[in-house]
Amino acid sequence: MKPAHSVEDLRRRARAALPRLVFDYIDGGAEDEVALAGNTAAFDALRLVPRAGRDVAARDTSVTLFGRRWAMPFGVAPTGLADLARPGADLAIARAAAAADIPFILSTTATTDIETVARAIPDHLWFQLYMPADRAIGHDLVRRAREAGAAALVVTLDVPAPGKRERDLRNGFALPLRFGPRRLLDFASHPAWAWRMARAGAPRFASLIPYAPPGAGSTSLAAFMARQITADLTWEEVARLRDIWPRPIVVKGLLDPADVAEAARLGLDGVILSNHGGRQLGLAAAPVAMLPAAVEAAAGRLAVMLDGGVRRGAHITAAVALGARMVFAGRPTLYGAAIAGEAGAAMTIRLLRDEFERTLGLLGARTLAELDPAMVRQPG
């Protein structure tokens, strides 16, 4: 596999390897993609201020979170329909994450089921829950994740309605993939991808298959999932998940510090600041821009984490310096997996790890504890 030197290198190669319909599904955002672009732009607007004259020859990138030591403060964010990029992508990325000793969050809408991923990476799995309109299904998903040994439950709160993803609308994206003349030409122009998909079959929401009507195909399964989007999930209901989940509960999709304070008041264990990778609210604030206020609102009562726009190890370093306990990204490992499966995902993680460790040293820090907000200058 040809080496890549940045996530952007991997992105360009994924764009060449995938049909436009598929690449745009992975890469695109909501409406004019202001939030999507703004996520990385907010990181790039930060300036780092190093400390000099320190011995940083030996550096330790590890972090302890929820009673467990991880190799670095970076993990893989949940991504739905990963197998569109490459059959087996969920497992490929999960195994790469486990090999790097970082957490992997499996999406409710993953194309590999909870139990299969848990068997592959028993010590690195977190499970992300979209609470369905049918609460019995949601509670059973929680049960399955608990029995499979997932270490944390990540409840997403930023999908009360589907985002308007205009690339998907223009491309006519739908499941199962439809085959018109233009689509066939696009697929035929990417023969390696088309051959893999033809052999594997259409990806499906694997963990949701037991709840769909008997014999449901890709079309009816997608329609079933659409009907399960709920706009009435409340804080109180999230807190009651304690009754059926004994391990850490993390809420994902927050931006307002007041919501972080509410999560802390309810005794939840962590939050992930997120705007869903810019795929939901088109003008959403960038998570890293909200990080200092969120850390202040948390007041040490829970772990503040984030995702959105992470493309460099320096982005991870800046977020940790500003108070993030863990930083997640989803698209980068998908780009890598699209190109070369597990090896591509591992290359992505290795790139970010090496950049993170290098930036740590360049800032004059040997450990995460030596990073502090004074090392980061905010715009304005």
Q: What residues act catalytically? A: 276
Contact 294, 254 (CB under 8 A): yes
State phi, psi for 108 to the nearest 5 degrees. Answer: -55, -35
Q: What span, in angstroms and rounded, lies between the C-alpha atoms of 95 and 117?
A: 9
Whether the bond between 176 and the residue before it is cis, its omega within 30 degrees of 0, is yes
> Which of 80, 101, 77 lies closest to 154, judged by CA?
77
3-state DSSP assignment of residue 128: strand
- 56 by Cβ neighbours in 10 Å (0-12 / 13-18 / 19+) ranks as middle
Contact 358, 317 (CB under 8 A): no
In 53-124, the DSSP E strands lie at: 63-65, 68-70, 74-76, 104-106
Whole-Å CA distances, 229 to 236, 237, 280: 18, 16, 13
CB-side exposure of 6: number of CA atoms within 13 Å? 8
